[in-house]
Amino acid sequence: MLTGNQEKVRKVNKSIVLNMLRLHAPISRAQVANLTGLNRGTVSNIVNVLIEEGLVFEDEQKGSGIGRPAISLGLRPDGGAVIGVEIGVDFIAVLLTNFVAEKIWNSRIQTDPSQSQTDIISQAERLIAQALFIASEQRLRPLGIGVGLPGLVNLHQGNLIMAPNLHWMNVPLRLMWNQRFHLPIYIENEANLAALGEYYFGSARNVDNFIYLSAGIGLGGGIMMGGKLFRGGHGYAGEIGHIQRDPAGEQCACGRIGCWETQVGPRAVFHRVKKELQNHSDQSLLVACSGDVDNLTFEMVVKFALEGNTLCRRAIEEVAVNLGMGIADMVHIFNPELVLIGGAFIQAKDILQPIIEKTIFSSILQPCADGLRIAFSERGADGCVLGAIAIVLDDILHEMVIT
């Protein structure tokens, strides 16, 4: 019989092997042993258990070398189903994947922040139920549900503590959905999940120290340090959108004045465009929004700016400088290798990137600039739901309880 400690070691070794397969499959048992530093006997025992459990397969590969063909290992796509959910300020997105995070089904619906909390949550529940039905049709056992939320999430309690742009407070979502779906529920801040999604599947793959920034209606941040999300004591770390950068600035949805989020999101761009329009009329812009600036979308402003409209371009450039200055502060605090920018900002990448880079590199302490890259996400709107998939897999791959 294994002692508690031996049992723990066995679980850790199992997760190391699974994670190695996630990153490097197809690989052989010998390669797993080399890469992990575990001895070959241990690797073989673990692999046998994982094969029995339907999580790992082995396959004969005809190598080009001489000698007997190598048997390679991989994670089985049908090892289970994972559901990723994002409740955004004005949308719900759900993604169903198999055990290797390949998409089986997804859905994205628009919501209205003025809808009641109960309404929005039941819409999300209907989409999750649909995903579970599809998983059962494909005979995949559901392993868990990851959920990204636009606010402060208390990881110990599993509660959404506050979501300023939704005006939600203290929602015990983990408990609610645990009882409803009888599955492990992982709730997290959406930017944290997007950072995790980028680390697992996106532009930050294998970058252990990076900062992810994303603007939608709010401005969120996810901080990956040493290959782990930096969450702080309760999970509230990374609320970079609410760093006060202008004490005489505009009021933020959180109730405070001059948060970074008021300077750099799409709303900040609209605000500037509106202000400018009061001073200089711009016929083409007014025609495009039928005379009402509230009809403008961020996409339209970016399109106008790229086509040479100076008013729109100036608004985005000003935001770029504010973004760069805030990022420079974060670089001094965290010394990341990469700053990854996502969300609505991606659309304006061509204008933003050179200005952000210039602002950062001309203002930070020289040693902090060594090896620093500024990049834009390639995952676009999928970052958070992919992260929601990743957090479920991450937990399974790291702490799988196999008895």
- Whichever of 17 and 319 has its CB closer to Zn ion, that residue is 319
Helix (H, G, I), strand (E, B) or coil at 215: strand
- Alpha helices (H) along 211-348: 260-264, 266-279, 283-288, 298-306, 310-334
- C-alpha neighbours within 13 Å on the C-beta side of residue 108: 10
Whether residue 146 contacts residue 186, with contact meaning beta carbons closer than 8 Å, is answered with: yes
CA angle 38, 40, 46 (to 5 degrees): 75
Alpha carbons 367 and 360: distance in angstroms, whole number: 13
Strand partners, 87: 92
Residue type, 9: V
Cα–Cα distance, 311 to 301 (Å, whole number): 9
Please say which residue, 257 or 364, places its beta carbon nearer to Zn ion. Answer: 257
User: What's at 151, amino acid-wise?
Assistant: G
Q: SS3 of 252, please?
A: coil
Nearer residue to Zn ion within complex by CB, 27 or 252: 252
Task: Report d(CA 127, CA 83) in Å as an integer.
Answer: 10
Q: What are the two backbone dihedrals, phi and then psi, of residue 368, each rounded to the nearest 5 degrees? A: -70, -15
The DSSP call for residue 380 is G
CA distances from 285 to 106, 307, 342 (A): 36, 12, 26
Q: Least CB distance from residue 346 to Zn ion, whole Å?
A: 23
Strands annotated E in 151-297? 152-154, 159-163, 168-171, 185-189, 210-215, 219-225, 228-229
For Zn ion, which is the closer residue by CB, 104 or 253? 253
The β-bridge partners of 143 are none
Give 74 or 258: the residue with its C-beta nearer to Zn ion.
258
CB 11 → Zn ion: shortest distance, Å?
A: 41
Least distance (Å) from Zn ion to the CB of residue 254? 3
Task: Catalog residues that contact Zn ion under the rule CB under 5 A.
Answer: 242, 252, 254, 256, 259
Q: How near is the Cβ of 145 to Zn ion at its closest, in Å?
A: 29
Taking the least distance from each CB to Zn ion, the nearer of 243 and 277 is 243
Q: How far is the CB of 153 from Zn ion (least distance, A)?
A: 17
**In angstroms, what is the minimal distance from the CB of 325 to Zn ion?**
17
Q: 95-110: string of b/e by CB count within 10 Å (b at 16+)?
A: bbbbbbbeebbeeeee
Q: Which is nearer to Zn ion, 126 or 256 (CB)?
A: 256
State in angstroms the smallest separation of the CB of 323 from Zn ion: 16
- State the nearest-atom distance from the C-beta of 262 to Zn ion, in Å: 7
Q: Which is nearer to Zn ion, 144 or 238 (CB)?
A: 238
